[in-house]
A = this chain, B = another copy of it.
């Protein structure tokens, strides 16, 4: 029996070694193209998802089913091919498979199969989200997405962080970070006819519940027991934002570490981003070449520069001075105390610094209650990591570990301490300095691949009016 190997393995195989023994191999996959040669044989391009590139198969006219099947193969048909790997005379590929047998598993009627050779827009492909990863671009995106996810786990595991699954359904709303989705088992039709009020004792959790917007607060409880932890899971925003940068459902990684101050946190974020980006360049080289050539020219160099350059640090206050004196005209006004816009962030990282930049010490008034108040009483130990090409990619902070300061900050923001009793407890019992940050997975995939729309870097995007598949 022939050994089943992937297209990736077949393409990387040392053909001379194999041709010596003439070992028979089996490849299983889908036809991308068929080209019949005048010499009475056909070339098939086969892909099985293991790599961007296809394996070229030479199917001789002597095959039993050459006329009846092989010559009818079209894009999308599934096949099992046995044969021997040989050195390829063609440019751009090391090996090709000389077929002894081509078995057809499934046909794909060219009249109805949507993915014909003609190019489709990414918008159109979203309607076929169940098929679109059969295209070069979406397949490459999802391999890169996988690699980033693997690197996230590997990086934190190797740095002594434990993976924690913070809850998705929650009765608390973190920091009021955004609009939330409701979760309920109440029958909405019956409820609508009830005349009200809502009887939550009939609901599954006996109270109003929501989809989480962040696992940070729960992660803090684990950081103050297990030391170093990270979450990596889905988070939700019910914001009516129909943009190329927003999803209602997205994945976020949030490390949280006890005894880390802001400097430790900045170093962690820098090491983390560099590791993830290096892995992608190293392990998804072919996919990244594709993005560099077809999606965004210069992408590889841009990612490399993030890896190579030490991240610069700058306070928010200094950044305001730079922006005020730089002579650029911005759409949004610059004023100490207001949030920076993407145009400001991009000017700072792209033009002023020319590389990754960590902004720190933001005004307390524009940041959530849990960020640590600095001695100046005006700023907090916040940090945003900015990178050329996109602006902010990571946001984080040292957390307020002092009980009284936290309580004062919560009161100032009219937060009910009763709802946060367990969060406050962490400052009551063995409190420690601790820090963390958040990275949106889709934003990172979008950055690395250069894909213009965030809906094209997630398997099945959830956006206003759209929950297909």
Contact of A166 among B160, B431, B459 (CB under 8 A): B459
Find chain B residues with CB under 8 A from A429 CB: 76, 106, 108-109, 112-113, 131
Find chain B residues with CB under 8 A from A149 CB: 153, 163, 165
Closest CB in chain B relative to A152 CB, distance in Å: 10
Find chain B residues with CB under 8 A from A433 CB: 105
Which of A34-42, A221-229, A330-338, A350-358 has 4 or more CB atoms under 8 Å from chain B? A221-229
List CB contacts (< 8 Å) of A203-242 with chain B: 204-209, 211, 218, 221-222, 225-228, 233-234, 236, 238, 240
Interface centre among A28, A76, A182, A208 (most CB of B within 10 A): A182
| Chain copies in complex | 2
Is A101 engaged at the interface, CB distance under 8 Å to the other chain?
no
Is A362 engaged at the interface, CB distance under 8 Å to the other chain?
no
Contact of A184 among B113, B150, B188, B469 (CB under 8 A): B188
The answer to whether B185 touches A182 (Cβ under 8 A) is: yes
Find chain B residues with CB under 8 A from A236 CB: 168-169
Is A432 engaged at the interface, CB distance under 8 Å to the other chain?
yes
Q: What is the bound-complex CA distance between A234 and B77, given in angstroms?
A: 34
Find chain B residues with CB under 8 A from A466 CB: 205
The answer to whether B197 touches A194 (Cβ under 8 A) is: no
The answer to whether B227 touches A169 (Cβ under 8 A) is: no
Known: A188-B184, A191-B188, A197-B192. A432 touches B211 (CB 8 A): no
Contact of A467 among B209, B401, B468 (CB under 8 A): B209
Is A258 engaged at the interface, CB distance under 8 Å to the other chain?
yes
Find chain B residues with CB under 8 A from A48 CB: 227, 258
A4's nearest neighbour on chain B, judged by CB, is: B259
Contact of A28 among B28, B150, B163, B259 (CB under 8 A): B259
Find chain B residues with CB under 8 A from A109 CB: 428-429
Given contacts A167-B469, A204-B465, A206-B465, 10 further A-B contacts (CB under 8 A): A49-B258, A108-B430, A130-B221, A131-B425, A134-B225, A149-B153, A169-B181, A169-B236, A182-B186, A221-B469
